[in-house]
């Protein structure tokens, strides 16, 4: 059936791991909007949550790097990082391999995918889940888009993946929510950590929220790297959500650069209802 919820949010490990070092007013406003997203997600009563992330060498390495990979496991374990470093306790997160399989088979009509029956979640999934499904009671289907190691999937293919995901979700009876998580501009884990290009972020978000395919696909990796850092490559996760919600526009619930979180912290929701 049609998607019951779609949105995007940030996932920097500092959001949990360095919480006390952020401006309390900004941090709490960000957390409040993640709480609002949690409530909206719960109100949509999803049977499964597809989370489109950009993982960071937790499962995929330069020996065998898929551009797109979809989880197909009974359950997943996370975080792979040190629990004290991320301040999220390690646990199992339920999957739904039957639904994964049906979605993958349908999406393969349109896009080439890898799949994985074992997957360790890193902060790119665990930080959003920590806020959005704190009881870990909604089965998760992880999707990874390689945003770390060029060559990277072209933006128009990330958008096409989103369209394929939507067609697949439309074709199954389950109520499915989609969350994209990544970017926007940032220079994570480098000497420039904390640098954020707010003007670039706001311009990107404006295009994303009106779901302007042409404008979103006009970015080049050269420009993104220069203006938005290596972390800017993670716009692919947002662009996949745009593809999955083609025709819908969105609302920005929260955006603020929080340097110790190393990212412009974002909560936005697409109107799919």
Partner 1 sequence: MSLYQVQKVIYQLNRDPGLRERFAADVDGVLAAYELTNEEAEALKEPDIGLLYVLGVNGQLLMHFAAFRGFEWDDYLAAMRRGVERHGPVRAGIYAMVSD
**Residues near partner 1, by CB under 8 A:** 18, 56-58, 61-63, 80-82, 85, 120, 148-150, 188-191, 193, 222, 225-226, 230
Rounded to whole angstroms, what are the CA distances from 182 to 24, 51, 98, 127, 176?
Answer: 22, 11, 27, 11, 20
How many Å separate Cα 30 from the centre of its chain?
16
- In DSSP terms, 76 is beta-bridged to 93
Separation of alpha carbons 130 and 127, rounded Å: 5
DSSP 265: E
Q: Closest approach of Cβ 149 to partner 1, in Å?
A: 7
CA quadruple 232, 15, 28, 6: dihedral positive or negative? positive
- Tokens standing for 42? 């719960």
Q: Closest approach of Cβ 168 to partner 1, in Å?
A: 29
First to last CA, the chain: 12
Q: Which is nearer to partner 1, 162 or 188 (CB)?
A: 188
Q: Which is nearer to partner 1, 56 or 130 (CB)?
A: 56
Q: Closest approach of Cβ 190 to partner 1, in Å?
A: 5
* CB-facing half-sphere around the CA of 9: CA atoms within 13 A: 32
Which residue bears the tokens 């779609």? 6
Separation of alpha carbons 14 and 46, rounded Å: 28
Q: Closest approach of Cβ 191 to partner 1, in Å?
A: 5
Nearest Cα residue to 238 out of 105, 18, 54? 54
Q: Rounded to the nearest 5°, which phi and psi values hold at 219?
A: -65, 145
Q: Which is nearer to partner 1, 43 or 189 (CB)?
A: 189
């Amino acid at each position: 059936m049609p998607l019951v919820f779609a949105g995007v949010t940030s996932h920097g490990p500092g959001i949990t791991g360095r919480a006390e070092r952020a401006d309390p007013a900004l941090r709490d406003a960000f957390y409040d909007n993640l709480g609002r997203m949690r409530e909206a997600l719960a109100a949509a009563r999803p049977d499964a949550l597809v989370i489109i992330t950009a993982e960071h060498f937790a499962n995929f390495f330069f020996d065998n790097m898929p551009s797109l990979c979809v989880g197909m496991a009974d359950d997943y374990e996370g975080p792979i990082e040190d629990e004290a470093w991320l301040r999220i306790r390690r646990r199992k997160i339920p999957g739904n391999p039957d639904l994964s399989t049906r979605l993958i088979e349908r999406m393969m009509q349109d896009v080439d995918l890898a799949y994985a029956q074992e997957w360790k979640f890193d902060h790119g999934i665990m930080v959003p889940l920590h806020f959005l499904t704190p009881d870990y009671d909604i089965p998760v289907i992880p999707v990874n888009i390689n945003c770390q190691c060029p060559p990277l999937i072209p933006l128009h293919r990330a958008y096409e993946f989103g369209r394929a995901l939507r067609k697949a979700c439309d074709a199954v009876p389950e109520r499915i929510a989609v969350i994209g998580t990544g970017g926007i501009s940032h220079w994570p884990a480098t000497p420039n950590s904390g640098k954020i290009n707010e003007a670039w972020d706001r311009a990107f978000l404006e295009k994303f929220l009106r779901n302007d395919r042409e404008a979103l696909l006009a970015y080049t990796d050269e420009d993104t790297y220069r203006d938005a850092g290596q972390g800017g490559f993670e716009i692919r996760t947002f662009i996949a959500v745009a593809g999955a919600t083609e025709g819908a526009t969105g609302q920005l619930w929260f955006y603020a650069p929080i340097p110790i979180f190393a990212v412009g912290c974002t909560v936005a929701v697409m109107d799919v209802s």
